[in-house]
Amino acid sequence: VTLEYDSVIAEEKGNAFGISELRPIQMSKRNVLDILAEARSNFSSEEWRDFLVRSIGLESNALSQRAKDAILLRMVPFVERN
C-alpha cells in the first residue's frame, strides 16, 4: 500500500491521506494451495465459512447462514489466478 498526502483535501475534509497505489500480495511458495488444502481439511464446512467471513472483518456469529453465503458469493469476483 502506498499512501499519499494532499494538503488541499486536508483543508476541505480534514483527512489528507489516501491510497495512491495498492499492489496485490503474491505468495512466495509454489505449494501454497497444497498447504491451504491440507489446513482446510482440519475444519468443517461451517467452520471454514466462518473463517472466511471473519477474514474480511465481519463477525460470523451475528450473521445468518443465508447472510454468510451472500457475503461469500460477493467475494467470488475478487478471486484471482496467481
**Do the Cβ atoms of 71 and 53 come closer than 8 Å?**
yes
DSSP 44: -
Can you tell me whether residue 3 is helix, strand or coil? strand
What pLDDT, on a 0 to 100 scale, did the predictor assign at position 32?
Answer: 80
Q: Is the pLDDT of residue 59 over 90?
A: yes
Helices (H) then strands (E): counts for the chain: 4, 2
What pLDDT, on a 0 to 100 scale, did the predictor assign at position 74?
Answer: 94
Give the sign of the dihedral formed by CA 29, CA 35, CA 36, CA 39.
negative
Contacting residues for 35 by C-beta, under 8 A, at least 6 apart: 29
Single pTM value for the model:
0.57
